[in-house]
Chains A and B, each alone.
Chain A
Amino acid sequence: MLEIAIKGSKKYWIWIGLLLAVMGAGFAVYIEQFINGLAITGMTRDVSWGFYIANFTYLVGVAAGGVMVVIPYYLHDYEKFHRITILGEFLAVASLVMCLLFIIVDLGQPTRALNVLLYPTPHSMLFWDMCVLNGYLFLNIIIGWKVLEAERNQVKPPEWTKPLIYLSIPFAIGIHTVTAYLYCGLPGRGFWLTAVLAPRFLASAFAAGPSVLILLCFVMRKVTKFDPGWDAMQTLSKIVCYALIANVFFFLCEIFVTYYSKIPGHASHINYLFFGLHGHNALVPWMWTSMTLMFIGIILLIIPALRNNQTLLPFTCIMIVVGTWIDKSLGMISGGFVPSPLHHVTEYAPTLKEIIISLAVFGKGLLILTILFKIAAKVKEEVRG
């Protein structure tokens, strides 16, 4: 089926060329980082993770969000998702590739990355995270490809894909749970040290993932002849609505516990994010924007007339993607590190170089996504036409 990817319109090739240019620019900057070290980033001794790990965390969520189409379709035979299940799986593939790349660009010694396999360490959550991420990636590649191939040949997918599909469901939950465990098991970081972190990660993932998927459906309708179906998109938007409410609810639980108990170790981080600490308040406007976007998102999705509005829905989804991204990337990482364990405030902001490298990783993900979606759309067109 790969041959489909190399046949395309002029616009298709311009888009591919654009992505390649972004990747090239990022790669050049990465070479500099590779030679000179992570000094080119805005990370510091106090804020030792930054933009890379933040995006990694967010994209794990987008990848896990794909399961929100897999569960209704495969477990509940929800036929309307028939056409978009493959999109969910391919979105997961692209997101996971970006996740792994973000980990690699974040390493101080990337050439030694394989040490994680050479010296497997079960007591480290990073080891498990690597296992589930690669496992989920592998599952989605196999499942997506085999199911699509079967569709093209107009036969049933091979029987052995069924158990793999079922297996991919706990894996999807697993990748985001273990990613949350990276943070919430650390004794000295009050902001992360909460049992609600993994559920909150999942809730925001199930809002962000399907939102991205809805946006991609709109794009597909515009640029290909393949129509994912308005009904499916409607159902997705309901899923987003519930998940987003859950996310905000978990956050409010967190706020209650923190401010009612008044334990300073927890409050200082949230104070920093939302009100500033000792005169440092770089993230304050961001956090309030995020909260506002998520609240407006909920309102726009709860009211049926607004949710069913085809012109409004893409904007709602963009608001939700931006809102959850700030909440989970920017806020989650900086909030955990500021103030530092010694209660110093060192603020973090990514450098331009860091952002260019990140954009290149996104470019790579979009390239994979474009190719996979193009193949999927073409196959679906062929079968129906």
Chain B
Amino acid sequence: MKKSRRKFLKVAGISALGIGMTPAITTFASSESQGTGTVDAVKSKNAEVFSAKRWGMVIDTSKLTDAIAANITDACHKAHNVPDFNHEPDKEKFPKTSPVNHHQEVKWIWKEHFEHAFPDKEDEFLAEKFKELPFLVTCNHCKNAPCVQACPTQATFKREDGIVLMDFHRCIGCRFCMAACPFGARSFNFRDPRPFIEQTNSSFPTRTKGVVEKCNLCAERLAKGQQPYCAEASQGAIVVGDLENSESEIRQLLNEKYSIRRKQELGTEPSVYYLM
């Protein structure tokens, strides 16, 4: 059971899907989730299936506003059952929830100011407009991912298409990956997240306490030929595609405009680019 799920996670993005996809998705979705997984059977033969040699993301900073950024975070977090500590837990279902510590929050994609997103590029004479712009930060799906290297159980692993994924059932919660990630992309479930999920998306697993999580580049969406939630909600500011394919949209964007990546000097080779 464990093996087959991992294998699925690994294979799903790369291989053309087709046969056997529906049961696999259901397995994936229902594990650990409350409620039963009811994924609409994907007409995978007809759907355009996305595959890539190395998935990457381009964020056009000029197209982001605070409102769009908030929508993006919302879309991602809701779809992935990321707990919101500002949400009042349902007293009937979860009678004994202790007060929250907001420093123990979970987040996959969120807004930062320039000097925090790019602390190495902090500059007092930076153009004013950059100081105010919202910069969205998330997992970079690094080519040389230090989190993968650090994980003692391979619960964090790199798929052949470049996506850095997590196996929530294998993670022992040692948080070595969090110390290793230079981008603060990872969150630990200090407590059971379920009371803080307003509405559970039954097609995606909820997590238990004691495991680490982060952006999965919407591997479950890419497998179905759909764009990630953040891209969908971004009004064109976020594009996800194949970095290795010179014909892809993101490569064209990178060709046209100057782009930067976070902490490039560390050599982790982030796959998320910011168009300036």
Chain A interface residues toward B at CB < 8 A: 36-39, 41, 43-46, 48-49, 103, 106-110, 112-113, 115-116, 118-119, 121, 123-127, 130, 182-183, 186-189, 265, 336-337, 340-344, 346
- Chain A positions within 8 Å of B137 at CB level: 342
Separation in Å of the B85 CB from the closest CB of chain A?
A: 11
| Cβ contact within 8 Å between A124 and B175 | no
Tally B residues with Cβ within 8 Å of A: 52
Question: Which residues of chain B have C-beta atoms less than 8 A from A121's C-beta?
Answer: 151-154
- Flag whether B24 is at the interface (Cβ < 8 A): no
Contact: A126 with B191, CB < 8 Å?
A: no
Q: Known contacts A108-B173, A109-B211, A118-B153; can you find 18 more A-B pairs with CB under 8 A?
A: A37-B191, A37-B192, A38-B173, A43-B104, A44-B104, A45-B188, A106-B175, A107-B173, A107-B174, A108-B171, A109-B173, A124-B151, A126-B176, A188-B146, A189-B179, A337-B179, A343-B115, A343-B119
Chain B residues in 8 Å Cβ range of A189: 179, 182
Check B152–A38 contact: CB distance below 8 A: no
A108 in complex: contacting residue of B106, B122, B184, B211, CB < 8 Å: B211
CB atoms of B153 and A116 under 8 A apart:
yes
Please state if A341 and B183 are interface contacts (CB–CB under 8 Å).
yes
Mask of B182-212 contacts with A, CB within 8 angstroms, 1/0: 1110011111100000000000000011111
In the complex, the chain B residue whose C-beta lies closest to that of A106 is B174
Give the A-B contact count at a CB cut-off of 8 A: 149
Find chain B residues with CB under 8 A from A343 CB: 115-116, 119, 122
Given A48-B175, A126-B152, A340-B184, the answer on whether A187 and B266 have CB atoms closer than 8 Å is: yes
Tell me the smallest distance from the CB of B133 to a CB of chain A, in Å.
Answer: 16
Complex: A347 Cα to B191 Cα, angstroms:
20
**Interface CB pairs A-B, < 8 A, 19:** A38-B210, A39-B104, A39-B190, A39-B209, A44-B103, A48-B178, A108-B189, A108-B210, A108-B211, A109-B210, A112-B172, A113-B172, A115-B152, A116-B152, A124-B149, A126-B176, A187-B182, A189-B179, A341-B183
Compute how far the CA of A109 lies from the CA of B207 in the bound complex, rounded to whole angstroms: 12
Bound-state CA distance A130–B172 (Å) is 14
> B32 at interface (Cβ–Cβ under 8 A)?
no
- Whole-angstrom distance between the Cβ of A34 and the nearest chain B Cβ: 9
Q: Which secondary structure characterizes the binding site on chain B?
A: loop
Chain A residues lying within 8 Å of B208, measured Cβ to Cβ, are 109
**Contact yes or no, A265 B120, CB < 8 A:** yes
Q: Is B181 at the interface (CB under 8 A from chain A)?
A: yes
Q: Which residue numbers of B lie inside 8 Å of A, CB to CB? A: 98, 101, 103-107, 112, 115-117, 119-120, 122, 137, 146, 149-155, 170-176, 178-184, 187-192, 208-212, 263, 266-268
Given A45-B187, A265-B120, answer yes or no on A124-B176 (Cβ-Cβ < 8 Å): yes
Q: Are B268 and A46 in contact (CB under 8 A)?
A: no
A195–B182 alpha-carbon span in the complex (Å): 18
Q: Are A115 and B153 in contact (CB under 8 A)?
A: yes
Give 8 nearest A-B pairs by CB, closest first: A108-B173, A188-B182, A108-B210, A44-B103, A37-B209, A39-B191, A126-B152, A343-B119
Task: Specify which chain B residues have a CB less than 8 angstroms from the CB of A186 in the assembled complex.
Answer: 146, 150, 179-180, 182
Chain A residues whose CB sits within 8 angstroms of the CB of B184 once the complex forms:
45-46, 340-342
Whether the pair A37, B189 counts as a contact (CB closer than 8 A) is: yes
Q: Which of chain B's residues have a CB closer than 8 A to the CB of A124?
A: 149-152, 176
Which residues of A lie under 8 Å from residue B176 when comparing CB positions?
124, 126, 182
Chain B residues with Cβ under 8 A from A107's Cβ?
172-174, 210
A331 to chain B, nearest CB (A): 16
State how many angstroms separate the Cβ of B266 from the closest Cβ of chain A.
4
**Contacting residues, chain B, for A123 (C-beta < 8 A):** 149
Q: How many Å lie between the Cα of A121 and that of B171 in the bound state?
A: 13
Is A187 a contact partner of B268 (Cβ separation < 8 A)?
yes
Choose from B174, B210, B263 the contact partner of A37 (Cβ within 8 Å). B210
Check A38 against B117 for contact (C-beta < 8 Å).
Answer: no
Cα–Cα distance between A187 and B212 once the two chains are bound (Å): 20
A336–B179 Cα distance when bound, in Å, is 9
Collect the chain B residues with CB atoms within 8 Å of residue A127's CB: 152
Question: With A109-B211, A125-B150 as given contacts, are A188 and B103 in contact (CB-CB < 8 Å)?
Answer: no
